[in-house]
Amino acid sequence: MRVSLFVTCLIDQLWPSIGTSTVEVLRRAGCEVVFDERQTCCGQPAFNTGYRSEAQRLAKRFIEIFEETDSEAIVSPSGSCTAMVHHFQELFPDDENWRNRARAIAERTFEFGSFLVKVLNVDNVGASFRGRVTWHDACHGLRDLQIHSEPRRLIQNVKGAEFVELANADACCGFGGTFSVKYPEISVAILDHKIAAIEQAEVRAVVSGDASCLMQIGGRLSRLGSKVQVLHLAELLASNE
Amino acid sequence: MNQSPETFDTNAIQALNDRQLRAALLNLASTFGERRKLAILSVNDWEGLRAQARSIKDETLANLDQYLEQFVLKAENNGAQIHWALNGEAAQRLILDLLKEKNVRRIVKSKSMTTEEIHLNEALERAGYAPVETDLGEWIIQLAHETPSHIVVPAIHKSKRQIAELFVEKVGIEPTDNVDELTKTARRVLRERFAEADVGISGVNFAVAETGTFLILENEGNARLTTSLPKIHIAVMGIEKVIPRLADLDVFLKLLPRSGTGQQLTAYQSLITGAKRQPDDEGPEEVHLVILDNGRSRMLAHPVTRQSLACIRCGACLNACPVYQQIGGHAYGSVYPGPIGAVITPQLSGIEKARQLPFASSLCGACREVCPVKIDIPELLLHLRAEVKQGAASRAASQTGKVSKHRIERLAFRFYAFAWSKKLTYEWGMKIARVFQRSIARKGRIGKVSGLFAGLAPALEAWTDWRDAPTIAERSFREVWREAEKTKGK
Ligand code: SF4
């Protein structure tokens, strides 16, 4: 299957290895991967902060670029950015044409892990990893896209990895985009419950499908001097240890 | 203690430092969360029930005028007297006039968010009355001169010890930490108040259009006493409390207690259909219903905000909300706290006064997941955020001189939308940032940022106060990709 990558700006600039891992796993699963270099950002930060016209501008651009790529699916290693694409329609309440174009794009946009399991029917990509790992459900993946069992199945099939369920796997990590800098004290108070559960799970790595949660969780773990690693699902699935 | 939504940020920090409060909140969230999950299992088709409840609400709200009219006609036929109040002051005045006309002195009340919303107790006290709250939790916070911190559990922020101390000081009992003793004290004092009251004031949970009946749900029996012992009963309800048919109650009575407290049913359901008819009947001689708008018809006008009126005040969204779980209800500075408060307070009291509240959320969606009537609270928050930004833009335009925080943020988002809609400016912008970060990055991460950089990038400062920040990679994904494509082509 021919898929176009939507790499998201955070991953493009901060964690390119998540992008390359995504490509590698998709190829292993038999996909032909294309990447349009004109893409930048889906507009989620603006939309979530109340700047609708700014978000609309980036959404239109996104739609135009991906309409032009000839592929069966658009795949993104981010639950929240995928969810944003699914929200595009709300940006055009008075414009049926753009609303329809947004809907068509949303229909073929998938989050990476759920794409593997639900669309490609693949739940073992031949990865291996040493040690205990746990999973953090990113809110948008979980509640906007209903992704729950797919990543768990993928992780459980990683050779050598021992999966443990996090006590508060489905609780928010407190990131919330600009919330994390508008109300850093509340954000970190929420985060610290997550951190406590992760430390208690005694894992080598905490895995998630959203780079922004990993930035929040990883940033705190690093500040606290913890040894626990943060990994994106794509990185775990690309690993060969 | 009287905090306002305008100072949400500082209220929240104060709450975060209150260890007692946070322990209580943690307990609340896990207890009610667990109980709710269990209670849901006792219903066959929970999702179906939720969908049904929402469609009943949608149908009612779409024809609210008709259903209200039907309810009022029936209620009047049953002998209730109806009063309309456009806003809180009107409702206060109405009730005060009524009390004067009937020449009453002593008032008991049962817990009601709507009377909190219109600040009825303060108005009554100003007029020389001493209304007594008879719900245990509500009575406790009344003694402490506080406001409720939860829709369903108003005194959740108080510890047993604090309550005991309060009773020693205000009721004059001997110091004790025996809960039984405390409850007995409350019962004894409140019984006396019931016996001598001339008027009982209550809220309304549901108003049935078909029969003109209204309902109050509770667990202690105080609402039942409030509405039946005194000669006069005054009930205050928002216009959105109407449901079409008696049969619809089946749906809501299953949903509400399970969602809020994890009970299958509340201990009492009082159905009130008018005043007493025969001299030998029990119950009040007069029943007055004050029907309140107070900004609700404004919510009704827009399809997105309309769903705010579907709320049945179960409190489940508070219990599920990670933000509420950390800071509790008082920080919101309004009668309705938590996720539902963050959306209805700005609509009730004006978006300018409460403009922080729609941003006081990580948009995690836990509230939407638990809401029995499927209110999409995140959607409402986003809608209100856009409204706040629009309002702020027009305010900023009329302002000269001082550069506000909002203007800086707006500029940043304008710049982002402009620069990131072009491949070249996006790529170059990031390349320049990569050079800049050299002065603050150590070993691939950015620790606490202060000084010049903090001034330039307040967001980075706020982030790195608590967390390390990642650095921009040496080579972006697109650069790696480009190179790989090049070598592939060779
Ligand atoms: S918004 Fe929903 S969950 Fe929250 S109080 Fe209202 S009905 Fe309950």
pLDDT digits (tens, 9 = 90+) for B218-227: 999 999 999 9
Check CB contact under 8 Å for B362 and A13.
no
Backbone phi, psi, residue A4, to 5°:
-100, 140
Q: Does an H or E element contain A159, and which?
A: strand A159-164
Is residue B52 predicted with pLDDT exceeding 60?
Answer: yes
Q: Which amino acid is at A74?
A: I
Q: How far is A219 from chain B (nearest CA, A)?
A: 4
Question: pLDDT, tens digit, for every residue of B142-170?
Answer: 999 999 999 999 999 998 899 999 999 99
Q: Does an H or E element contain B75, and which?
A: helix B64-77
Q: Does B420 touch chain A (CB under 8 A)?
A: yes
User: Atom of ligand 1 at shortest distance to CA of B151?
Assistant: 5
Q: Which residues are within 8 A (CB) of B403 and not within 5 positions of it... i.e. 6 or more apart? A: none
Backbone phi, psi, residue B270, to 5°:
-95, 120
Entry pTM:
0.94
What is the pLDDT confidence band of residue B3, given thresholds at 50, 70 and 90? Answer: confident
Q: Does B475 touch chain A (CB under 8 A)?
A: yes
Instruction: For residue B420, give the chain A residue with the closest CA.
Output: A40
Query: Higher pLDDT residue, B243 or B406?
Result: B243
Q: List chain B residues with CB under 8 Å of A16.
A: 473, 475-477, 479-480
Check CB contact under 8 Å for A50 and B465.
no
Average of per-residue pLDDT across B437-460: 79
Note whether A171 and A208 are within 8 A (CB): no
Is residue B385 predicted with pLDDT exceeding 90?
Answer: yes
Instruction: For residue B366, give the chain A residue with the closest CA.
Output: A143
Distance B311 CA to ligand 1 centre (A): 5
Instruction: For residue B322, give the chain A residue with the closest CA.
Output: A190
Is residue B228 predicted with pLDDT exceeding 70?
Answer: yes
Distance B307 CA to ligand 1 centre (A): 11
Q: Does an H or E element contain B446, and which?
A: strand B445-446
Question: pLDDT, tens digit, for every residue of B262-294?
Answer: 999 999 999 999 888 888 888 899 999 999 999
Q: Enumerate residues 284 to 323 of chain B having a beta carbon within 8 A of any beta carbon in chain A.
A: 322-323
Check CB contact under 8 Å for B364 and A35.
no
**A interface test, pick of B8, B10, B304, B467 with most A CB neighbours within 10 Å:** B467
Return d(Cα A153, Cα A124) in angstroms, integer. Answer: 8
B178 class by beta-carbon count within 10 Å (0-12 exposed, 13-18 middle, 19+ buried): exposed
Helices (H), chain A: 9-13, 16-28, 44-49, 52-68, 79-87, 96-107, 112-114, 139, 149-156, 179-182, 184-201, 211-223, 233-238
- Token output for B200: 């009982």
Q: What is the pLDDT of residue B1?
A: 47
Q: How far is B424 from chain A (nearest CA, A)?
A: 9
Q: Which of A3, A18, A15, A1 is nearest to A233 (CA)?
A: A18
Counting ligand 1 atoms within 8 A of each CB, the residue from B206, B241, B317, B344 with the most, and so the one to mutate, is B317
Q: Is A72 helix (H, G, I), strand (E, B) or coil?
A: coil
Return d(Cα B80, Cα B72) in angstroms, integer. Answer: 9
Average of per-residue pLDDT across B292-319: 95
Distance B388 CA to ligand 1 centre (A): 23
Return d(Cα B316, Cα B327) in angstroms, integer. Answer: 16
Check CB contact under 8 Å for A49 and B385.
yes
Note whether B362 and B345 are within 8 A (CB): no
- Which positions of chain A have pLDDT values less than 50? none
Check CB contact under 8 Å for B326 and A140.
no
Residue nearest to atom 6 of ligand 1 (CA): B311
**B interface test, pick of A140, A186, A188 with most B CB neighbours within 10 Å:** A186
Q: Is B408 helix (H, G, I), strand (E, B) or coil?
A: helix
Query: Among B365, B413, B430, whose Cβ lies nearest the Cβ of A54?
Result: B413
Q: How far is A108 from chain B (nearest CA, A)?
A: 22
What is the pLDDT confidence band of residue B432, given thresholds at 50, 70 and 90? Answer: confident
Return the minimum-mean-pLDDT range out of A24-33, A220-229, B333-342, B395-404.
Answer: B395-404
Distance B317 CA to ligand 1 centre (A): 5
Return d(Cα B215, Cα B271) in angstroms, integer. Answer: 5
Distance B131 CA to ligand 1 centre (A): 28
Note whether A216 and A180 are within 8 A (CB): yes
Return d(Cα B380, Cα B371) in angstroms, integer. Answer: 13
- Token output for B37: 């999950």
Check CB contact under 8 Å for A220 and B466.
yes
Q: Which residues line ligand 1 (CB under 6 A)?
A: B 259, 311-317, 340, 370-373, 375
Q: Which of B2, B325, B379 is nearest to A174 (CA)?
A: B325
Return d(Cα B262, Cα B38) in angstroms, integer. Answer: 7
Q: What is the pLDDT of residue A91?
A: 95
CA angle B321-B7-B403, nearest 5°? 115
- Token output for B148: 């409720």
Q: How far is CA B325 from CA A83, B21, B141, in A?
A: 25, 10, 20
Return d(Cα A60, Cα B86) in angstroms, integer. Answer: 43
Q: Which amino acid is at A227?
A: K
Is residue B402 predicted with pLDDT exceeding 60?
Answer: no
Residue nearest to atom 3 of ligand 1 (CA): B371
Distance B83 CA to ligand 1 centre (A): 27
Q: What is the pLDDT of residue B2?
A: 58
Distance B373 CA to ligand 1 centre (A): 7
Backbone phi, psi, residue B56, to 5°:
-60, -45
Counting ligand 1 atoms within 8 A of each CB, the residue from B56, B114, B259, B374 with the most, and so the one to mutate, is B259
Tell me how far apart the 2 most distant CA atoms of chain A are, in Å.
53
Q: How far is CA B158 from CA B4, B29, B149, B172, B328, in A?
A: 20, 15, 10, 19, 11
Return d(Cα B389, Cα B490) in angstroms, integer. Answer: 51
Kindly calculate the radius of gyration of chain B based on its CA atoms and give it in whole angstroms: 27
Question: pLDDT, tens digit, for every residue of B17-45?
Answer: 999 999 999 999 889 999 999 999 999 99
Q: Which of B479, B423, B431 is nearest to A20 (CA)?
A: B479
Note whether A210 and A141 are within 8 A (CB): yes
Average of per-residue pLDDT across B333-342: 96
Q: How far is CA A224 from CA A215, A221, B71, B462, in A?
A: 14, 5, 60, 17
What is the pLDDT confidence band of residue B403, given thresholds at 50, 70 and 90? Answer: low
Average pLDDT, chain B: 92
**B interface test, pick of A38, A183, A217 with most B CB neighbours within 10 Å:** A183
Return d(Cα B17, Cα B489) in angstroms, integer. Answer: 60
Q: How far is A69 from chain B (nearest CA, A)?
A: 16
Q: What is the pLDDT of residue B88?
A: 96
